[in-house]
Structure 1
Amino acid sequence: MEFLLSTSIGYILGSFPTAFLLVKIFRGIDITKTGSGNVGALNTIRTSKSKLIGISVLLIDAFKGALSVFILLLLFPETFIFSALALLFAVFAHCFNPWLGFKGGRGLAVVAGGGLIIFPYTVLIWVLLWVIFFLMKKNHHIANIAATIFTLLLLFNTVDIAMKYSIIKPESSSSLIVITAALLMIIFIKHIEPLKEIIEKYKTNRVIKND
């Protein structure tokens, strides 16, 4: 019963199509068919030409993750797995939204919103790595992908620290790793298309240089 409740609350909250609704209401545009088609804050800014709408999407999406976790903490205080499952399903529903033909965002804001409540260490590590890779490559997709991969690798080697600084103590290190790996895997999957574009662009540039 607890598992069903956790996943259902997370899924319902995560499926709220923030970017789609705000862009549709204020600009009359279907964001899934405009720009990158991604239902997130960055494409909202590009599509709506409004930073205010984009920031609103970012904050509401983060709130979806935070609210999912918070509700489960109220229902099951000090129980990591239920809050973590709520966040996982919120991210899944956000990224593969059932109301939008399973299109969605890339999940970063939702993970950050909920993750800062239950495992801030992991979120802060991801942010730090993102800044480093972005400064190196000046490409947010590369930074997203690299930070996601290296966060998981670091977690395996620093799981004791992650456990220590988790606000809600995980039942075991394996539960923390599995949930975090699942979240990062969803983020990575949502970046496969941008990764393909980056690789194709790199190949094209190499051909041009060789010519």
Structure 2
Amino acid sequence: MVIAAYLLGSIPSSVWYGIGYLGIDVRKFGSKNAGATNTFRVLGKRAGTVVMLIDVLKGWTATMLAVLLYYFGLITDDQILTYQFIFGIVAIIGHIFPVYVNFKGGKGVATLLGMVLAIHPELALLCITIFILTLIASQYVSLSSILATLAFPVLLLLGVFGKPELSLVIFGFAMFLMVVFTHQKNIVRLLNGSENRVKLFVRKDKGKR
């Protein structure tokens, strides 16, 4: 199951979709990152949305493998969360270091979202809301990703969903540190004022293509 989780996470959706359908390798353009954000930037909204949904599904499916083990009686009810952590984290590692494309992948945020949706869907939806609001206000995907990830353990500590479970809080802060680590260059650009913005609700000139 660990191997299956890694192989699921390793699926390079942006690379395969870009080359397979449009003949474009996203790793050669934009930020040259094989993730959903660069796919939006290079290939457009439709391709970016498809890639993002696949990356989310990778994390969700890998994490739900724990439920499959429980269904077949291989683990007990109180072991499900532990195995969800293991499979989800392995899938994220697979996304960042995919075996299919020389271990150079994306930053793992969408796959992390899929993992969180499997573990705590209500909190995940709240974090998505924070991401969207931050993105609308700042137009920075990197900043939105960092703040939305930080919101997960903070909201748990604040007791928004009742008494917080220690393992979830620790996991949340660990994932926040991972996102900060994978966004080091973005953070430097944010501090320098040179980070790329995502232009939302931009109307195209009808006279131009």
Confirm or deny: 8 A CA contact 2:150 2:173 kept in the other structure.
no
Q: CA 1:95/1:161 → structure 2, altered by over 3 Å: closer, same or farther?
A: farther
Q: CA 1:161/1:9 → structure 2, altered by over 3 Å: closer, same or farther?
A: farther
**1:6-155 maps to which residues of 2 (within 5 A)?**
7-49=2-44, 51-77=45-71, 78=77, 79-155=80-156
Write the deviation string for residues 104-132 of structure 1: whole angstroms up to 9, x where unpaired: 22222212223212212331232232234
Confirm or deny: 8 A CA contact 1:10 1:87 kept in the other structure.
yes
Give the paired residue count: 187
1:185 is aligned with what amino acid? Answer: L
Partner of 2:183: 191
Confirm or deny: 8 A CA contact 1:148 1:188 kept in the other structure.
no
Larger helix percent: 1
Identity of aligned residues (%): 27
2:173 is aligned with what amino acid? Answer: A
The structural deviation recorded for 1:86 is 0.6
1:133 is aligned with what amino acid? Answer: T
Tell me how far apart the structure 1 counterparts of residues 162 and 27 of structure 2 sit (CA, whole Å).
40
The structural deviation recorded for 1:74 is 1.0
TM-score (norm 1): 0.76
Q: CA 1:159/1:99 → structure 2, altered by over 3 Å: closer, same or farther?
A: farther
Write the deviation string for residues 39-75 of structure 1: whole angstroms up to 9, x where unpaired: 12231132224x3322221121111112112222111
Tell me how far apart the structure 1 counterparts of residues 13 and 136 of structure 2 sit (CA, whole Å).
29
Structure 1 unaligned spans of 5+ = 164-172, 203-211
Q: Counterpart of 2:162 in 1: which secondary structure?
A: helix
Write the deviation string for residues 181-205 of structure 1: whole angstroms up to 9, x where unpaired: 3333322222211111111226xxx
Tell me how far apart the structure 1 counterparts of residues 144 and 46 of structure 2 sit (CA, whole Å).
24
Tell me how far apart the structure 1 counterparts of residues 119 and 183 of structure 2 sit (CA, whole Å).
24
1:52 is aligned with what amino acid? Answer: R
Confirm or deny: 8 A CA contact 1:88 1:179 kept in the other structure.
no
Tell me how far apart the structure 1 counterparts of residues 83 and 5 of structure 2 sit (CA, whole Å).
10
The structural deviation recorded for 1:87 is 0.8
Structure 2 unaligned spans of 5+ = 72-76, 195-209
Q: Counterpart of 2:30 in 1: which secondary structure?
A: coil
Confirm or deny: 8 A CA contact 2:149 2:172 kept in the other structure.
no
The structural deviation recorded for 1:179 is 2.6
Runs of 4+ that moved beyond 6 A: none
Confirm or deny: 8 A CA contact 2:153 2:168 kept in the other structure.
no
2:55 is aligned with what amino acid? Answer: D
Write the deviation string for residues 137-183 of structure 1: whole angstroms up to 9, x where unpaired: 232222222222343333333386275xxxxxxxxx23222333333
Confirm or deny: 8 A CA contact 1:121 1:162 kept in the other structure.
no
